[in-house]
Amino acid sequence: MGNRNPNIAKISLLSVLHHKLLAALAEPTSGSICIHKYDDRGNPIGLSELLTSERVGIVFQFSERYFLADTVLEEITFGWPRQKADLLFKEQLALNLQNAFKSVGLTTISLDEDPESLSGGLKRRLALAIQLVQTPDLLLLDEPLAGLDWKARVDVVNLLKDLKRHHTILVVSHDLRELYPLVDHSWRMEIGGCLKEEALPSAL
């Protein structure tokens, strides 16, 4: 899914979908969001479920600017439970990390590497992996191609095209043309918060 909107509308949308993370900006006054899972053949699995903020991953625009750790491993495990988590939970997180790195094509980089030494495209992949470790039901991407050179932009689009096979992705962007290969539905958010579905943009 893709969404084109002005900056204020973009902030409002992300705030509602991940209100705990962005509670300082906006808190939803009413309503709820539910999700329905489907198998590979498009058949529904079970009943619809309430979507909570814990089940939402978000990659901000220029997310690599917020990296804090000295190594890739420390960056991706930042915020993990240190003492209270049992061994089984930690083993599951380690498996999630392995799967996340594989899904974004980071299996060849060293976990001891400084995140700041990575290229722009690899930094964006690392930001995606950090969220995928939490196995979110919904992945929010804010301008995922911003600041990347043309080759990195193509690589990220191809990566997202693969990820959408297993994840529901909502992209917020001013220009969806480069993201055309992965967009199934496109909306424009108008002033006042109304969503208007529009024709898919033409590829460049």
CATH for 103? 3.40.50.300
Domain presence at residue 118: yes
Give the pLDDT score at 114. 94
143 has catalytic annotation: yes
Domain presence at residue 95: yes
Give residue 141's identity as a one-letter amino acid code: L
* Residue numbers of the domain that contains 20: 2-25+52-198
Instruction: Kindly state the average pLDDT of the residues 80-86.
Output: 60
Q: Which residues contact 129 (CB under 8 A, 6 or more apart)?
A: 76, 97, 100, 101, 103, 104, 106
Instruction: Kindly state the average pLDDT of the residues 51-71.
Output: 83
Residue of 54, 75, 91, 143 marked catalytic:
143
Give the pLDDT score at 117. 93
Please write the tens of the pLDDT for every residue from 169-188. Answer: 888 887 777 877 778 888 77
Domain presence at residue 154: yes
> How many structural domains is the chain composed of?
1
Q: Mean pLDDT lowest for which of 20-29, 112-121, 143-152?
A: 20-29
144 has a pLDDT exceeding 90: no
Dihedral angle of Cα 39, 137, 50, 13, to the nearest 10 degrees: -130
